[in-house]
Chain A
Amino acid sequence: MRILLDKFSKSFGDVRVIEDMTLEINDGEMLALLGPSGCGKSTTLFAICGIHKVTGGRILFGDRDMTGVPSQERNVGVVFQSYALYPHMTVAENIAFPLRIRKLPEAEVKRQMEEMANLVHIEALLDRRPAELSGGQQQRVALARALVRRPNVLLLDEPLANLDAKLRLEMRSEIRRIQLETGITAILVTHDQVEAMSMCDRIAIMNAGEIIQIATPQEMYRNPRTAFVAGFLGNPPIAFIDAVASNGTLTVKDADIRLPVPPNTETPPDGTPVIVGIRPENLGRDGDAPIRGRISFVETQGRENLYDLTLANGSVLRSIQRESDDVSLNDEVEWRVRSDQLFLFAQNGERL
């Protein structure tokens, strides 16, 4: 079902968390609300499911205005970060709870419960209690319980935050598989850009209660609208250095480095201070613009090495390259940057 937040605002007392936010989620789409802690993404989620009353604006499910509708009637499935399973009930009872509340006939409850258990692969665990399950299994139960009543929208609040690294990888693809199989509209709240990029059709990146950019993961990575977006996506993260425009090039102060203005970017007038963003994968042996510096840090990641390159003026760039032995700590090197992959931002962080 299509979800529309129309000029939605929320404040707690005098604190305005979100103001005039408009966001549309298409039918069957999985959208990530990505942002740092305190940016208002969970507030948005709780407004959609009705736990928070909105201060202004409307929330529409399809064509129906849900703004004043109580949580119980919104039919929103929520998976909480802590899973919030009912500890005194078995897995089967947990999943069946929403159906029993709706007073479905017992045979129907059992049928739908088992169907959902099959979908999330927990058929063998139905008689257990939540305390007897691993984190990943609890997660599956929580998903099944949220999905069993065919909700209008599925909300996932940091669903992977409590899992260890290996399980996180597994559940990432599992959640996506279940979402695609059920075709349900889903919203994922996360502060982890990897989760957002790997699981979702589109990302809405938020900061300080505002949506900065909405785009597909790929588009957002390739074309960040602000320095904040560029800095949030990508691991290891992008590095920023200050430069000044002069004669159609960008001069990095006190470092004897000149970078060309990337294509599709308007050349800033001479003397304009700019911020240049360089992703670690675009700095290395290949490229067209030389950058000279000293290797100040090496991190071995197995397949790749991550280097910190300190420039003459003290700025630090990051470079990720295939693992090799020919450079080591404190070496002076001249590497190259792919100038078509540079991002140029104004002092206020807006992309140029």
Chain B
Amino acid sequence: MTGHLKSWPIVLALSILSAPLVLMYVYLFIDTFTNAPPGSFIPNEFTLEHWTFLWHTPPGRLSIWRVTLNSLMFATSTATLVVVVSSMAGYVLSRLNVPARGFFLAGVMVLHAFPAITLIVAIFLVLQIVGLYNTLIGVILVKAAIDMPLGIWLMKGFYDTVPWEIEMAGIQDGASRFTVWRKLVLPQVKPGIFALGLFAFLLGWGEFILPQVLAPSGNAQVLSVYLAALIADDNNFDMALFKSVGLFYIAPVLILFFFFQSYLMNIYGGGSKG
């Protein structure tokens, strides 16, 4: 109990400091369901009018469901790509005696630390030339490539904890190296695969800059870009609509976090058994 007494000033200070944040989130929620008289923070009526975007598509915009589907496809595809490539590349870097292994390991590290945004002009040009500009596939490829170094490094960490003997036993039992990986090693790193997949999905879901620059308009629009377009639209400025779409946008993230937080924590354990 003394511990609680001692720490209360800290708790109080933290509470005061984080109160603005909490208030903002509270109002993000409240404002989407209510109207307040001008100049007041206290709402005076309940309304669903800010959520009409769900069933009513204003002219000149994509349907919210189309955009959500885009976001979902974008996040799922990048996550799948990252998981598939990382789970193989991580294994190779962890176990196989490939030429220039050290170079690749260092390279992956450097790429991970490399601010991808500095490449945006070059990527833009490349996508234009190959005809993937303003397409979902184009952004998916770019996003997956940028997330991959982290994924590879993480998966290597998970593979490093799998005992060698399991692989030796598999080889002695007559399995090919690929079968050993597929049937014996991969199941050992399942927590890592799951965590990485979730992580990559959330990264994709939250990505703004890449879709904004590489697929800003047309049918490839994702939620973050849609949201940005709302606030940039000076003709129909609607703060409450912006908040509603924002809430709609973060809801899946919150739900995923709520259900799978223990898996995500795995990422930070660096692959120690979870």
**Residues of chain A at the chain B interface (Cβ within 8 Å):** 49-51, 71-73, 75-78, 80-88, 97-98, 101-102, 145-146, 149
Interface residue B176 (Cβ < 8 Å from any Cβ of A):
yes
Distance in angstroms between the alpha carbons of A87 and B163 in the assembled complex: 11
Interface residue B165 (Cβ < 8 Å from any Cβ of A):
yes
Q: Closest B-chain residue to A71, C-beta based?
A: B171
Specify which chain B residues have a CB less than 8 angstroms from the CB of A85 in the assembled complex: 169
Contacts A78-B168, A82-B163; A88 near B175 (Cβ below 8 A): no
Distance in angstroms between the alpha carbons of A76 and B171 in the assembled complex: 10
Report B157-172 residues with CB < 8 Å from chain A CB: 163, 165-166, 168-172
CB pair A78 B172 closer than 8 Å: yes
Specify which chain B residues have a CB less than 8 angstroms from the CB of A145 in the assembled complex: 169, 173
Shortest CB distance A147–B (Å)? 12
CB pair A72 B163 closer than 8 Å: no
Shortest CB distance A207–B (Å)? 26
Specify which chain A residues have a CB less than 8 angstroms from the CB of B219 in the assembled complex: none
Q: Closest A-chain residue to B176, C-beta based?
A: A72
Specify which chain A residues have a CB less than 8 angstroms from the CB of B171 in the assembled complex: 50-51, 71-72
**CB-CB nearest 6 A-B residue pairs:** A84-B165, A98-B173, A88-B187, A84-B169, A80-B165, A71-B171
CB pair B175 A80 closer than 8 Å: no
Q: Closest B-chain residue to A145, C-beta based?
A: B173
A sample of 11 more A-B contacts (CB under 8 A), given A72-B174, A81-B165, A84-B169, is A49-B172, A71-B172, A77-B172, A78-B168, A78-B169, A83-B165, A86-B166, A86-B169, A86-B170, A88-B190, A98-B174
Specify which chain B residues have a CB less than 8 angstroms from the CB of A82 in the assembled complex: 163, 165
Specify which chain A residues have a CB less than 8 angstroms from the CB of B176 in the assembled complex: 72
Distance in angstroms between the alpha carbons of A143 and B174 in the assembled complex: 16
Indicate the size class of the contact surface on chain B. Answer: 10 to 19
Specify which chain A residues have a CB less than 8 angstroms from the CB of B170 in the assembled complex: 86, 97
CB pair A88 B188 closer than 8 Å: yes
Interface residue B179 (Cβ < 8 Å from any Cβ of A):
yes
Sample of 11 A–B contacts (CB below 8 Å): A50-B171, A51-B168, A72-B171, A72-B175, A76-B172, A78-B172, A86-B166, A98-B174, A101-B175, A101-B179, A102-B174
Shortest CB distance B76–A (Å)? 26
**Residues of chain B at the chain A interface (Cβ within 8 Å):** 163, 165-166, 168-176, 179, 184, 187-188, 190
CB pair B165 A86 closer than 8 Å: no
Distance in angstroms between the alpha carbons of A145 and B174 in the assembled complex: 12
Specify which chain B residues have a CB less than 8 angstroms from the CB of A51 in the assembled complex: 168, 171-172
Q: Closest A-chain residue to B169, C-beta based?
A: A84
Distance in angstroms between the alpha carbons of A149 and B176 in the assembled complex: 16
Shortest CB distance B13–A (Å)? 46
Instruction: Pick the most buried of A76, A84, A87, A97: most chain B CB atoms within 10 A of its CB.
Output: A84
Specify which chain A residues have a CB less than 8 angstroms from the CB of B175 in the assembled complex: 72, 97, 101
Shortest CB distance B184–A (Å)? 6
Specify which chain A residues have a CB less than 8 angstroms from the CB of B190 in the assembled complex: 88
CB pair B169 A87 closer than 8 Å: no
Specify which chain A residues have a CB less than 8 angstroms from the CB of B168 in the assembled complex: 51, 78, 80, 84
Shortest CB distance B121–A (Å)? 47
Cross-chain contact of A84 among B163, B179, B187 (Cβ < 8 A) = B163
CB pair A101 B166 closer than 8 Å: no
Distance in angstroms between the alpha carbons of A81 and B164 in the assembled complex: 12
CB pair A80 B169 closer than 8 Å: yes
Specify which chain A residues have a CB less than 8 angstroms from the CB of B172 in the assembled complex: 49, 51, 71, 76-78, 146
Shortest CB distance B107–A (Å)? 26
Distance in angstroms between the alpha carbons of A73 and B174 in the assembled complex: 7
Shortest CB distance B210–A (Å)? 37
Specify which chain A residues have a CB less than 8 angstroms from the CB of B166 in the assembled complex: 84, 86-87
CB pair B174 A87 closer than 8 Å: no
Distance in angstroms between the alpha carbons of A325 and B184 in the assembled complex: 60
Q: Closest B-chain residue to A74, C-beta based?
A: B172
Instruction: Pick the most buried of A72, A81, A85: most chain B CB atoms within 10 A of its CB.
Output: A72
Shortest CB distance B233–A (Å)? 53
Shortest CB distance A20–B (Å)? 26
Distance in angstroms between the alpha carbons of A77 and B166 in the assembled complex: 14
Specify which chain B residues have a CB less than 8 angstroms from the CB of A72 in the assembled complex: 171, 174-176
Q: Closest A-chain residue to B173, C-beta based?
A: A98
Specify which chain A residues have a CB less than 8 angstroms from the CB of B163 in the assembled complex: 82, 84
Distance in angstroms between the alpha carbons of A85 and B169 in the assembled complex: 8
Distance in angstroms between the alpha carbons of A83 and B168 in the assembled complex: 11
CB pair B188 A101 closer than 8 Å: no
Q: Closest B-chain residue to A51, C-beta based?
A: B168
Specify which chain A residues have a CB less than 8 angstroms from the CB of B187 in the assembled complex: 86, 88
Q: Closest B-chain residue to A151, C-beta based?
A: B172
Q: Closest B-chain residue to A73, C-beta based?
A: B174
Distance in angstroms between the alpha carbons of A73 and B169 in the assembled complex: 13
Shortest CB distance B272–A (Å)? 15
Shortest CB distance A319–B (Å)? 43
CB pair A86 B174 closer than 8 Å: no
Specify which chain B residues have a CB less than 8 angstroms from the CB of A102 in the assembled complex: 174
Distance in angstroms between the alpha carbons of A51 and B168 in the assembled complex: 7
